[in-house]
Amino acid sequence: MNANEDYEELSSIARQGSGSACRSIYSGLVKWCMGKNDDGSDSMAVQLVDESHWSDLVIIIAVVSSKQKETSGTSGMRDTVETSPLLQYRAQTVVPGRILKMEEAIKNRDFESFARLTGADSNQFHAVCLDTSPPIFYMNDKSHWIINLVEKWNHSEGTPQGTYSSV
């Protein structure tokens, strides 16, 4: 087995423990591939670019609450799949094109496109959460404050200086 196959296997195993865990196997920027199996067993992450590709890209993580989420990602996704018509639209119509645009933005180190796509995707993710029954609320007042701050900063500069993705 070569190193790439090792990473793919580790990513697939990590995915079984946590949906987003598969992305943490690689460094750099990573794409989480859905796979085709209903049980998600072939869902894994792949590295798009290594950490040296976009060396001036800075990622800041702000933990705005130490409390455990009221709705876990697993149960939230289950409820969303069962009750949100917006999820189907997002998955079938929006996400495939957005992924292609994001991969292009990453490849070209196009921060303006990267920022706009990231913010739009985060906003739509939370719209789907609100469309779920019962609604899921992952953000809090601090999350909203950060989003507002980033949007005001970007507007004042006339071009994106930052972006956000909130869960």
Looking at residues 109-121, what average pLDDT do you find? 98
Do 75 and 141 lie in a common domain?
yes
The pLDDT tens digits for 39-53 are 777 778 889 999 999
3-state secondary structure of 48: strand
Q: 1-5, 10-14, 83-87, 134-138: lowest mean pLDDT where?
A: 1-5
Q: Are 132 and 83 in contact (CB under 8 A)?
A: yes
Closest residue by Cα to residue 11 from 44, 47, 50? 44
Do residues 108 and 123 share a domain? yes
Tell me: do 10 and 82 sit in the same domain: no
11-to-2, 21, 95, 96, 102 alpha-carbon distances in Å = 14, 8, 21, 21, 21
The reported pLDDT for the residue numbered 2 is 58
Residue where a domain terminates, one of 53, 79, 97: 53
Mean pLDDT confidence for 93-109: 97
- Regarding whether 85 and 143 lie in a shared domain, the answer is yes
Q: What whole-number distance in Å separates Cα of residue 55 and Cα of residue 45? A: 21
What pLDDT does 46 receive? 86
Q: Nearest-CA neighbor of 14 among 36, 35, 42, 44?
A: 44
The pLDDT of residue 1 is above 60:
no
- Asked if 28 and 68 sit in the same domain, the reply is no
Continuous segment of H or E residues that includes residue 47: strand 44-49
* Residue with more model confidence, 131 or 40: 131
Question: What pLDDT, on the 0 to 100 scale, is given for residue 128?
Answer: 98
Do 84 and 48 share a structural domain?
A: no
Closest by CA to 84, choosing from 21, 37, 129, is: 129
45 with 83, same domain: the answer is: no
Give the pLDDT band (50/70/90) at residue 109.
very high
Q: In the numeric block, which tokens belong to residue 102?
A: 């994001």
Decide which of 35, 53, 71 is a domain's last residue.
Answer: 53
Closest CA to 147 of 138, 96, 24: 138
- Considering the domain architecture, whether residues 11 and 64 belong to the same structural domain is answered as no
Identify which has the larger pLDDT, 77 or 158: 158
Domain housing 66 = 56-167
Nearest to 105 by CA among 95, 116, 94: 116
Say if residue 70 is in the same domain as residue 123: yes
- Please give the tally of structural domains in the chain: 2
CA dist 30 and 103 (Å) reads 10
Question: pLDDT tens digit string along 58-87?
Answer: 999 999 999 988 888 888 889 999 999 999
Q: Average pLDDT of 109-137?
A: 97
Pairwise pLDDT comparison (105 vs 27), residue with the higher score: 105
Q: Decide if 33 contacts 45 (C-beta within 8 A).
A: yes
Mean pLDDT score of the chain? 89
Distance of CA 33 to the CA centre of its chain: 12
Whichever domain contains 130, its CATH number is 3.30.70.890
- Are 14 and 33 found together in one domain? yes
Domain ends where: 18, 35, 53?
53
* Same domain? 96 vs 33: no
Q: Are residues 4 and 75 in the same domain?
A: no
